[in-house]
Chain A
């Protein structure tokens, strides 16, 4: 074959390929490396600022969410005050639920403690429970690896490198978070499961309350009964209620992460819009923000049939992605919806 030149430039050069190389070489990247600032390890303070920055794009939504969660969590929190506090600077207590989980290289017999910077690893037959200071607990499923990132009076952080966990947290919003390779889950007073595969892709499923799932400027607000996937380099996809059809779920995957081309994307959008029920506005609102302008009008029309836009919300404003109008419309749907 004369394909070797195309593959690795070995063998006799193919005239057509050579001509194209010469012709297109003018577009080659030639810009030298800019000065890159030092990659400063992220401090807990920086993380807090990063988390707070997330809430700027949708301030009303976030603070309304926080208010609901804070009322519930606050009652519980005050009630707990009389029971004294754990000493967070000493790490978290770990209980062996099954098998032989390890903290670092040390196997846990019945119980132990994990300190900041240490990892907890379970094999295929091990499970462990972590007591997260005095705000809740996290069960680490088999074949998992987690690391304690920080613990203190205002912030508790865990990294899930792979495997799965189930968190049940009763705290003020934003006090507990879990980092994964592709997104961060921030607790808003909730219970949820989180899994991460070896490629860093994840799935977050909420069973109580709300969870904020974010990476960069992509974020998903996920209520009880809903879930969202996440992919490395992309972050969280569109949240969806778990009782949607498999086709609906696949179509969201195509819209969020697909590379199958415009026809597949158009088919996916058609399916999502045609199957969306009233409560699936949970998925349509994020789509409204993330789809290209050419698709936004169709999402608007479907959304408007499911939840009438309130006064002050116009199609033009939504197509411009006016954040005030989007928030106003979201408020119309109401945060209390998942409790109905």
Chain B
């Protein structure tokens, strides 16, 4: 393919059907299964963003809401390769609206302090909720990145690629966020 072809709009046949952009383009043309594959790839990112802002009990339902919104608005997305950043912004917006609209489900009651080491196996659930709450109280940029890394299991490069954020920013947020998290966890463990 010549240089001029690459600079012009790609015909459908030249779009990599397996790439994110290819799936977005296919979904925009009415391919529901392509959107399902996008869900598989991006749902963890949306879930992590939600979990940084809402209770774990509500995050799953809101993930579904975000994808329905994205499905409705997909044809307005002009740049298929910007899908991840666009979807992340829909998720943040949905989380913000969530607090503006009506009462929410009751939060799970969490312990104020982390349990001692001797009770670890019996209270892992409570410890997990306590750690989650501490992360949710960190500054927004840190908690989102940390939850994508620690809960969803995404690596730093994957977080940058999916959310559209710069790698450098993600790396800084991960390191600073982890440092702050260590400090907060240490404070909680003190008697």
Contacts and interface: CB of A to CB of B under 8 A. Distances in A.
Interface of A: 3, 6-9, 16-17, 20-21, 23-29, 31, 33-42, 161, 179, 181-182, 200, 215-216, 231-234, 259, 261, 290-293
Nearest to B99: A292
B44 interface: yes
A179 B76 contact: yes
B44 A23 contact: no
Contact of A36 (B28, B35, B89, B157): B35
Interface string B111-144: 0000000000000110110011001000111000
Interface of B: 27-32, 35-37, 39-40, 43-44, 46-48, 51, 56, 59-60, 63-64, 67, 69, 71-79, 86-90, 92-93, 99-100, 124-125, 127-128, 131-132, 135, 139-141, 147, 149-153, 155-157, 171, 174-175, 178, 181-182
Given A31-B63, A36-B35, A234-B89, A261 B43 contact: no
A259 B60 contact: no
Contacts of A6: 149, 156, 174-175, 178
B32 A8 contact: no
Given A8-B156, A9-B155, A24-B151, A40 B128 contact: no
Contact of A17 (B31, B171, B178): B178
Given A39-B27, A215-B73, 9 more contacts: A21-B150, A27-B132, A33-B37, A33-B39, A33-B43, A39-B31, A39-B32, A41-B29, A42-B75
A256 B125 CA distance: 37
Contacts of B59: 27, 29
Main secondary structure on B side of the interface with A: helix
Contacts of A259: 92, 140-141
Nearest to A26: B128
A29 B42 CA distance: 10
Contacts of B127: 23
8 contacts: A21-B150, A23-B124, A36-B36, A39-B28, A41-B75, A181-B78, A215-B73, A216-B73
Contacts of A232: 86, 89
Contacts of B181: 20
B40 A8 contact: no
Given A29-B43, A40-B30, A24 B35 contact: no
A299 to B, nearest CB: 13
A185 to B, nearest CB: 13
Contacts of A200: 78-79
A292 B76 contact: no
Nearest to B78: A181
Nearest to B139: A261
B25 to A, nearest CB: 11
A272 B43 CA distance: 37
A3 B131 contact: no
B78 A29 contact: no
A231 B132 CA distance: 30
A290 B150 contact: no
B30 A39 contact: yes
A216 B69 contact: yes
B36 A261 contact: no
B30 A38 contact: yes
Nearest to A231: B89
B110 to A, nearest CB: 13
A179 B76 CA distance: 8
A323 B61 CA distance: 27
Contacts of B76: 179, 181-182
A16 B64 contact: no
